[in-house]
Amino acid sequence: MAGYTPMIQQYLKIKAEYQDAFLFFRLGDFYEMFFDDAISASKELEITLTGREGGTQEKIPMCGIPYHAAANYIDVLIERGYKVAICEQVEDAKVAKGMVRREVVQLITPGTKMDGKGLDEKENNYIATVTDFHNQSFGFAYTDLSTGESRTTVIEGRFDDLFNELSTIGAKEVVIASDFNSEWQKNMKDRGIAVLSFEDQIEDKESSFEKLLTILKDHQHRETIARLLNYLYRTQKRSLDHLQPVEPYEINHYMKLDYYSKRNLELTETIRSKGKKGSLLWLLDETQTAMGGRLLKQWIDRPLIAKTQIEGRQQLVGTLIAHYFERQDIRDRLKEVYDLERLAGRVAFGNVNGRDLNQLKRSLEQVPYIKQIVSSMDNETMSKLTQRLDACEEVTDLLEQALVENPPLSIKEGNIIRDGFNEELDTYRDASRNGKSWMAALERKEREASGIKSLKIGYNRIFGYFIEVSRANLHLLEEGRYERKQTLSNAERFITPELKEKEALILQAEEKSISLEYDLFLSVREQVKEYIPRLQALARAVSELDVLQCFATISEERHYIRPVFSDERRMMITDGRHPVVEKVLDSQEYVPNDCQMNPEREMLLITGPNMSGKSTYMRQVALIAILAQIGCYVPASEAVLPIFDKVFTRIGAADDLISGQSTFMVEMLEAKNAITNATENSLILFDEIGRGTSTYDGMALAQAIIEYIHGEIGAKTLFSTHYHELTVLSEDLPMLENVHVSAIEQNGHVVFLHKIKEGAADKSYGIHVAKLAELPAMLIERATAILTELEKGDTGKPNTAVASGSIKVPAKQEALSAAEEAAQLSFFAEPNTVKQSAATPKEKKVLDELKSMEVLDMTPLDAINILYKLQKKLKS
């Protein structure tokens, strides 16, 4: 440190406290970065890397950005998962003794961002915290700093349950203890949690904590949220008065949808594009406000399981459907409502400007009209909602009196406060305006007196006001009339005692006016801050109304019906449709399907060709259940549903490359998750379980899973398969029924009817599907010929089963030759149990040579060369 200049030493001391962040170090009108920060920032932000003398022989790497343009650069870094520490001059350079004092005034992170383009208006920006209690339980809490909402819970169980909560809220940042399990840290990063931050303080050390923790009685809840609050107060270094009391919640009070199920059902984003379009959220989002959009996503992520709560929402949706014109009026009014939650947050945070407060005023002006419309619907449940629509008239009146209609973006440039709001300000303004009028009058008078028509009175910051006369007209001036001030190449500038006196009055008035306006604006902001709890309560009511009108609008436009809930675990969906596929098809007619299940019919084994609609049918059943339990109507002509506590899916094929798991391993893990966590009140969707391994293994696994769910769990299960041999299970499993997706052949081509019918499918039509995919004609002909030969080997006998509980094997599979059996390597077989045909002496020599090689010590090129030589020996 001793070798560096005092300024660089100051930088390094501050940087030492923020090693994991870019330090924006304020020097005059720029934020500068040095050393590694400068090298990295120059690449990320595509700005010039330069050098600076710092007391050492070599120049220190440096780059910088203008402070007034910093917001855009910060957005770029935050979007890429970095943190930015803002270091400002906190001392006036004119009065500083020695080096100007600088401090970090805020740490901006992906989880603490308050505004900017990186903040999606219809998505929460959550920062979460995790506390390991070392007793198979985790404390979990999260906050959206931009809205002030906070929740906490205790998760009993595995780390996977914790990660499921993290994925549910889409946490942008996770705060943990410095000694948090390193393997779990790696696991979180591997699964997409890019930013981990550390906080070891878990005491309620801030006095403002108590009002946030009043509801919490459990010490685990308090300890968990205190870690997060300490981190926020330490890094943000400003008022967080908008933080709402922390709300405890229980995971089992909502339908459990794990990470895999949300992904497979495409609830909030599609599997392929990771975008909103094509998801259930995309279909439903007819919300008119940003806060309504965020609440809709929260409801989709956490469907209800309490029947009374669900039916309460349904009743409100029904009322809004019945009042079409009132609903349209509500939608029109909601369009004029800005984001009350985030506006309240910015008021408390201190980064709100005049335009933001005018948005707040215009939003509040809509509330009385919305309240009147809602109260006109004579309904008991609506009247409760009406009572929560607090218009906060005091805030509206204050802002109307205080702010001009179109204030500037900056709050330090004046012209933000209305005339008549403050008497002292009006006096300054009058002096300033009259002074300028006096200047204009003086200019006219001097032109007439001197006869110089080009004479003008100007102003600049260095010389103030002056009289300017061009050099060509100087001879017209009366000697001694003005006092010379400045000589230019083509003009002379003069002043008079009267002009300087007026200048002092005008400039003093303008300076005091701007200073007073700034103070008045801060005073108005502080007064608005007192109403933050009421504004947040209003925001919750408005966002609920917005989501409910959204449900009503979608339900009416798409002809959804109100489902009925059964206490006898019955499911009767008549003419059910997949809501998203139906919308995507648009003008094409969607083929509806029924789904009948009850305590005597718990499992449906679904067979049928590829592309016929098995997966769509399964998904539509799950989506109908989820729609019903968030309080929306459902796409069917009639629906009686049980209330599901959990939904599990195994649909589609996907490798988990990050953790090195194959498609089949992912399939097995998802199946295990469902089997170990499902109850009789759950819904399980299994699509093509076992297809990732050999035929025997796959069929054995599929049958064993079916039997286990049937005998041990009893959950409502839809199980699709291409193993037609499994359809005979209905003979032994009383609660299993076969259904199939029908298809017909016409002129050698297959036509998918997309209709679910009772019984098992008779054909798979695999070659027909290949023909639809336009595989080469020669390949299709060859496949057809091979299929014919294989079918000749079928004895025609029905599938027969061996001992009870074992796999049911068709006759044609029983007749497999030893060579064929050896070709189908079992996933579970011991290495020495696989049958092999006898090798020739030459082949045995090659095999022995292969066994003696140390493959792991070879380079890829060596391995390929050796493989080529061995193959050549075998061929010869």
> What CA–CA distance (Å, rounded) separates 136 from 115?
38
Task: Please check if 164 is assigned to a binding site.
Answer: no
CA distances from 626 to 281, 305, 635, 679, 708 (A): 12, 10, 12, 17, 25
Q: How many CA atoms lie within 13 A of 95 on its CB side?
A: 4
> What CA–CA distance (Å, rounded) separates 165 from 308?
25
Task: Please check if 637 is assigned to a binding site.
Answer: no
Which strands make up the sheet holding 247-248, listed edge to edge? 196-198, 173-176, 126-132, 137-144, 150-156, 247-248
376, 385 Cβ separation under 8 angstroms: no
3-state secondary structure of 668: helix
Tabulate helix, strand, coil % of the chain (nearest 5): 45, 20, 35
CA 609 to chain centre: 36
Task: Please check if 612 is assigned to a binding site.
Answer: yes
> What CA–CA distance (Å, rounded) separates 5 from 689?
68
Task: Please check if 451 is assigned to a binding site.
Answer: no
> What CA–CA distance (Å, rounded) separates 431 from 501?
13
Q: How many CA atoms lie within 13 A of 135 on its CB side?
A: 4
752, 613 Cβ separation under 8 angstroms: yes
Task: Please check if 614 is assigned to a binding site.
Answer: yes
- Find residue 104's DSSP bridge partners: 87
574, 641 Cβ separation under 8 angstroms: no
> What CA–CA distance (Å, rounded) separates 409 from 435?
27
3-state secondary structure of 565: strand
DSSP for residue 713: I
> What CA–CA distance (Å, rounded) separates 61 from 38?
6
Helix (H) or strand (E) run with residue 720 in it: strand 716-720
Rounded to a whole number of angstroms, the distance between the first and last alpha carbons of the chain is 73
Task: Please check if 831 is assigned to a binding site.
Answer: no
- Find residue 347's DSSP bridge partners: none
Identity at 108, one-letter amino acid code: I
> What CA–CA distance (Å, rounded) separates 497 from 249?
74
C-beta neighbour count of 545 within 10 angstroms: 25
Residues 6 or more apart in contact with residue 544 via CB below 8 angstroms: 295, 385
3-class secondary structure for 12-58? Answer: HHHHCCCCCCEEEEEECCEEEEEHHHHHHHHHHHCCCCEEECCCCCC
| Annotation: binding site for ATP | 608-615
| Annotation: binding site | 608-615
